[in-house]
Chains A and B, each alone.
Chain A
Amino acid sequence: MRADPAEYRLVSPDNLEAVLSLLAGEPAQWLPIAGGTDVMVLYAAGKLPNRNLINICNIPELRQIDVFPDRIRIGAACTYTALRSDDIVSREFPLLATAASWTGGIANQNRGTLGGNIANASPAADSLPALLVYDAEMTLISVRGERRLAYRHFHSGYKQTALAADELILDISLPRRFSGYASHARKVGARNAQAISKVCLAALGQIANGTIRDVRLALGSVAPVPLRLHDTERVLTGKKIDSSLIETARKSVVKEIQPIDDIRSTARYRAAVAGNLVAEFLEKLAAARIDA
């Protein structure tokens, strides 16, 4: 049933302190809303449990991208459009820029935010594997103070996160040490434009003296959380890429993921495609057909 707007409230504080004090005052009562591309869908369907919403679009700290010598800091309410049009993101973090271009159509990219995508915690979210391979770090903030958390520790289970009831995601930082890596982003969905992924891959690799010096792989839609493939990375590191290594990688990927059958795909299809995507990346890396 459709939601009745008279049963909801939405307040628009003009500073971060006011947002945090609302969250602290009645923890779990208030839900932050930025672009609304997830929240408003639930709301319209009458499935939004929270009746009290805080508009965080007007908070400047959440909307900025700041560049430091060793990292970039992305405010949690930066939109996909802002990510795509940022020079440093495009140049040094192409996996994130590409994932931003996959996320919905232009209208949703103009509204949807990176912090919202993280908080929504869908295992199918396209930008999250990129954050895993780039070693993203988050700042979570509440009236109690700030804490830094490696992004890889944020998702604890399907739609479960480390965010406390009184906390807000303040920013996401990416260390600027991956520009020497070859990168590969690939998504498989029902159609090219704005389909939710059946499987998506974010991959980084470096070849030195004919062998894999370092490789970083993460997949979306193959487990309850966005998944970094540590075991497969270990199998690959230090090896020369040939057809037998690619077969070994394919088997390792299938062992490492836990895909399910759902409305978008089947576990069997996802396992086959996940293996294929990693194989495709390794073939390109071997042929140096992707730019370092």
Chain B
Amino acid sequence: MNPSPGTGAKCEVLFTVNGETKKVLAYPMERLLDVLRNELELTGTKEGCGEGECGSCSVLLDGMLVNSCLVPIGQTKGASIVTIEGVSTYASMNPVREAFLECGGAQCGICTPGMILAAVHLLEKNPEPALADIREGLAGNLCRCTGYMQIFEAVAMAARRRVAK
């Protein structure tokens, strides 16, 4: 193996994205975020800060919420990725979507895909979150429009409706 710089080679990555098997040819240090947006044309996932602070590039990697700007594609071989385009397979997605609309949980929309994924991830793990749990579950997702209260209310409403059903 030659470790000298500038000699990286593309690798084949076989993984599942939103339930479909995908094969991409990419440099292993390409960011999952860039492969999703540029290769797979899944532009619902947004780039905000590019350093794991803002959560707008959130996706689910094997069911875990992650910042896709911090995941090299070479670490995703065989993994299952869910993006905002595919999250409707989760039962909590419908109530979350309705509640975001009703509560005014989305404005400019840049943070929204990440907020939705963080909310779904939270409700899958904790169907009846207290406000503190909601705040913690969404703490890694920054929104510059709403002031957060509408988003917290939306997640609380989604949880109440799901439990009532």
Contacts and interface: CB of A to CB of B under 8 A. Distances in A.
27 contacts: A5-B26, A5-B27, A5-B31, A8-B5, A8-B28, A9-B9, A9-B29, A10-B29, A10-B75, A11-B28, A12-B75, A22-B1, A29-B3, A33-B72, A35-B70, A40-B69, A40-B71, A51-B3, A51-B6, A52-B3, A105-B139, A105-B140, A106-B136, A108-B67, A108-B70, A108-B140, A193-B135
B153 interface: no
- Nearest first, the 10 closest Cβ-Cβ pairs linking A and B are A105-B140, A193-B139, A5-B27, A10-B28, A51-B5, A8-B29, A10-B74, A40-B70, A110-B64, A5-B29
Interface string B4-33: 111111000000000000000011111100
Nearest to A36: B70
Interface in B113-165: 118, 121-122, 135-141
Contact of B52 (A7, A10, A40): A40
Contact of A194 (B6, B26, B122, B139): B139
Nearest to B2: A9
Given A7-B5, A107-B67, A194-B139, A36 B72 contact: yes
Contacts of A41: 51-52, 70
A262 interface: no
- Specify which of A41, A43, A106 lies most central, judged by the most chain B CB atoms within 10 Å of its CB: A106
B64 to A, nearest CB: 4
Contacts of A291: none
- Max count, chain B CB within 10 A of own CB: residue among A30, A44, A45: A44
A8 B66 contact: no
Contacts of A29: 3
Contact of A110 (B7, B53, B65): B65
What secondary structure prevails in chain B residues at the interface with A?
loop
B55 interface: yes
A36 B52 CA distance: 10
A111 interface: yes
A134 B64 CA distance: 29
B92 interface: no
B75 A57 contact: yes
Nearest to B74: A10
A107 B29 contact: no
A98 interface: no
Interface in A20-34: 22, 26, 29-30, 33
Nearest to A53: B29
Contacts of A9: 3, 7-9, 28-29
B37 interface: no
A45 B51 contact: yes
A55 B74 contact: yes
Interface in A162-195: 193-194
Interface of B: 1, 3-9, 26-31, 50-53, 55, 58, 64-67, 69-72, 74-75, 77, 118, 121-122, 135-141
Contacts of B122: 106
B121 A106 contact: yes
Interface in A92-108: 101, 104-108
A77 B152 CA distance: 32
A82 to B, nearest CB: 11
Contacts of B118: 106-107
A42 B51 CA distance: 9
B74 A12 contact: yes
A117 interface: no
Contacts of B29: 3, 5, 8-10, 43, 53
Nearest to B114: A107
A6 to B, nearest CB: 5
A81 interface: yes
A30 B7 CA distance: 14
Nearest to A101: B136
B49 to A, nearest CB: 10
Given A5-B8, A7-B8, A8-B8, A106 B28 contact: no
Contacts of B136: 101, 106, 193
Nearest to A41: B51
Nearest to A43: B29
